[in-house]
Amino acid sequence: MKLIVKVENQSFEVEVGDIHARPIIATIAGEAFEVWPEDVQLVRSTVQVGQVASLPTVAASVPRPATAHSAPKSSTPTASTVGAKSVLAPLPGVIVAVNAKPGDAVESGQELCIIEAMKMKNVIRANRSGTIEAVHITVNQHVKHHDVLLEFTD
Amino acid sequence: MTQNDPRILELRRMREQSRIGGGADRIKKQHAKGKLTARERLERLLDHGTFNELEPFITHQGDEMGLATEKYLGEGVITGYGQIDGRTVYVYAQDFTVYGGTLSEMQSHKICRVMDLALRNGVPIIGLIDSGGARIQEGVRSLGGYAEIFRRNAQMSGVIPQISVMLGPCAGGAAYSPALTDLIIMVEKHSYMFLTGPQVIKAVTGEQIDTESLGGADVHMSVSGTAHLSTLTEQEALDLCRRYLGYLPSNNVENPPYYKPSDDPLRMDEGLNSIIPIDPSLPYSMHDVIERIVDTGSFLEIQPTFARNAVVGLARIGGHSVSIVAQEPTVMAGVIDIDAADKITRHVRMCDCFNIPLVTFVDSPGFLPGINQEHGGIIRHGAKVLYAYSEATVPKVSIITRKAYGGAYVVMSSKYLGTDVNYAWPSAEIAVLGAEGAVNILFKEEIDSSPEPAVMRAKLAEDYRQKFNNPYHAASAGYVDDVIEPRETRAKIIAALAALRDKYAPAPPRKHGNMPV
């Protein structure tokens, strides 16, 4: 998908790869950028249609050539559902590294912790930007599937 | 005969009336919602000028609840045949401007008519679905109409490709027929699927939810796994339908179309030789591996956001269609869980139906451990993967890129499930379980009685790794056919599939199998 993006009167031609991939690869003048959009919250019970952040807007607001891992700021007010505030363990395992502490401001796509499981070091990344309120894990701790690892302030 | 022959004029008038469906006002409303009309959709789906309509003058036959006063030629669905890339397809497009596209007995009659013709001629049937569900005024006749369609969907399954493009609110039966077809494409923010809508849910359970959160494209793509592909616009959805059909044959006795590749079959990608990290616990992108091996730009991922630990899709390699199945180490280590098992099984069986060879990239660390997985039935779901691979008679090639452990190795197209050619990369680790787990079981006494158990355990684990963390133990036992350099993979797959092109592997005659579900 090709997009023309205007930033302060300067036009960029942006080739956006598979928008379902994470990261999305956006190519600007031959240079590839990894983009970690804030994932749309899927199950929400109170948000009305129309408020939902759509993939197209996310993809279109992607290119900021200055920084790789540029995380588009979503204006979507996320409801206080579990997924929005908490980072859950995608699989059971042992925490081998914790890279965030309460009060840290993290960008979407930033590494939060590493879970060793299934003979792999699985990097857990922030799926949104925000400030970390609580860290519920320590190194060498066992976590179960869907345990809350960290929480954002909002 | 002059131009003013009243019989000709009458035909033209009738055709025009049929063409405008529910009338100019409702067409305007449809456009105001950012949607195309059924006819516009068909024009954009099919090769230019190839559409031929059937039964445009059909109307409903009932007179219940005011139906008799409001009749529309065509009965809310446009049916016929046309071509996609020069190949015949049968199509039906529901017309939301007529009774909200709701299904009546006669609408069902029209749909079944093109389904029957598609089957008889061995060509795909495509439904453009935009329907509020059953036509309530018709009562059981409408329901019977649905049953007629469902039965045909089931009977045609695996004989001709059936594709559903969801272009509106598809409630109840309008969601069930697509669920029986091979592919569901949804349009984000335009199409919804659910059996009971938000109002019914609120009345019964008290839960409040809007249509998008209940049955929008995002939900069906990422959570329920009902939809296979989604797009931002109707046009993209129709284009995607055309692209998808380019990988498929017209029926189950044809082979998929061959397109002369622009990509060199012998192309070696040196980058592949360094793509697997030396540290076996660090991830790499399997998507990257796939893209580097198949014909450039040909990979069409199916269900890209559902069970992302598994990857399925269609691609071309050396110009021939192949089915890709793989595991993604960057997502949940690539484990097999219930959703991944369902996703893989469905794809393997779809491709086997339509003679598309299976190419499986294996990085299989295990099944997802956990009480919810076991209680959720990972046994019967995982068994489906075994069933599908064992049952498939198309050419099957597998490449073990790294981990291949225990049962999760066996289910992923392992040699004695009937995989024809089995390759492993030098990074392959094929074992029953990981080194630490294995030595804890095998050498419990040695470790416990050792003065320094931790040192003993580490030493034994290292020995185990030396023995199993390479493909040569499996190769010496005949469990892999060859160990290849990653850069050679493309050429090796092309050669293997060429050597398997005339594979004949008849299954024993039976009514049908009894796959666990």
Residue B65, pLDDT score: 67
- Name the pLDDT band for A82 (thresholds 50, 70, 90): very low
Does one domain contain both A22 and A55? yes
Closest CA to B167 of B36, B47, B48: B36
Q: Which residue has the higher pLDDT, A43 or B321?
A: B321
Does one domain contain both A101 and A140? yes
Domain count, chain A: 2
Interface of A with B in 66-105 (CB under 8 A): 90-92
Best mutation target among A81, A120, A142 (most B Cβ atoms within 10 Å) is A120
- Name the pLDDT band for A63 (thresholds 50, 70, 90): very low
Does one domain contain both A33 and A86? no
The enclosing domain of A108 has a CATH number of 2.40.50.100
Residue A19, pLDDT score: 67
Residue A54, pLDDT score: 35
In chain B, which residues have pLDDT < 50? none
Least reliable range by pLDDT among A33-42, A141-150, B413-422 = A33-42
Residue B4, pLDDT score: 84
- Asked if omega into A92 is within 30° of 0 (cis), the reply is no
Find the closest chain B residue to A25 by CA distance.
B288
Give dist(CA B427, CA B474) in Å, integer.
13
Domain that holds residue A118: 82-152
Residue A21, pLDDT score: 64
Does one domain contain both A91 and A143? yes
- Name the pLDDT band for A154 (thresholds 50, 70, 90): confident
The complex's ipTM works out to: 0.72
Class in CATH terms, B6-245: alpha beta
- Would you list the DSSP string of A50-116? T-SPPHHHHHHT---TT-TTB-PPP-----S-HHHHEEE-SS-EEEEEE---TT-EE-TT-EEEEEE
Residue B156, pLDDT score: 97
- Name the pLDDT band for A38 (thresholds 50, 70, 90): low
Tell me the chain A residues in contact with residue B368 when contact means C-beta distances shorter than 8 Å: 91-92, 145
Tell me the chain A residues in contact with residue B335 when contact means C-beta distances shorter than 8 Å: 91, 118
Is residue A77 assigned to a domain?
no
Does one domain contain both A16 and A56? yes
Q: What is the pLDDT of residues B356-396, one digit of tens each?
A: 999 999 999 999 998 999 999 999 999 999 999 999 999 99
Element (H, E) at B493: helix B489-499
Residue B174, pLDDT score: 87
- Name the pLDDT band for A84 (thresholds 50, 70, 90): low
Residue linked to tokens 């008038």: B13
pLDDT(A139) > 50: yes
Find the closest chain A residue to B214 by CA distance.
A43
Is residue A130 assigned to a domain?
yes
Residue A11, pLDDT score: 76
Residue B466, pLDDT score: 87
Closest CA to B365 of B403, B313, B318: B403
Residue A56, pLDDT score: 34
Class in CATH terms, B270-428+470-499: alpha beta
Is residue A74 assigned to a domain?
no
Least reliable range by pLDDT among A55-59, A131-135, A148-152, B196-200 = A55-59
Q: How far is A49 from chain B (nearest CA, A)?
A: 6
What number of CA atoms fall less than 13 Å from residue B43's CA on the CB side? 6
Give dist(CA B51, CA B83) in Å, integer.
7
- Retrieve residue B393's tokens: 């008679």
Q: How far is A78 from chain B (nearest CA, A)?
A: 13
Does one domain contain both A12 and A45? yes
Of B331, B370, B403, the CB nearest to A119: B403
Inter-chain contact B189–A120, Cβ cutoff 8 Å? no
Is residue A117 assigned to a domain?
yes
Q: What is the pTM of this model?
A: 0.84
Q: Is A47 on the interface with B (CB under 8 A)?
A: yes
- Would you list the DSSP string of B291-343? HHHSSTT--EEESTTSSTTEEEEEEEETTEEEEEEEE-TTTGGG-B-HHHHHH
B6-245 matches B270-428+470-499 in fold: yes
Of B282, B304, B373, the CB nearest to A121: B282
pLDDT(A33) > 90: no
pLDDT(A53) > 90: no
Sign of CA dihedral B293, B298, B303, B306: positive
Element (H, E) at B125: strand B125-129
Closest CA to B322 of B313, B310, B332: B313
pLDDT(A66) > 60: no
All structural domains of chain B with their residue ranges: 6-245, 270-428+470-499, 433-469
> Which residues of B are tagged catalytic?
172-173, 407-408
Give dist(CA B282, CA B209) in Å, integer.
40
Residue A64, pLDDT score: 33
Find the closest chain B residue to A44 by CA distance.
B213
Residue A12, pLDDT score: 75
Does one domain contain both A86 and A146? yes
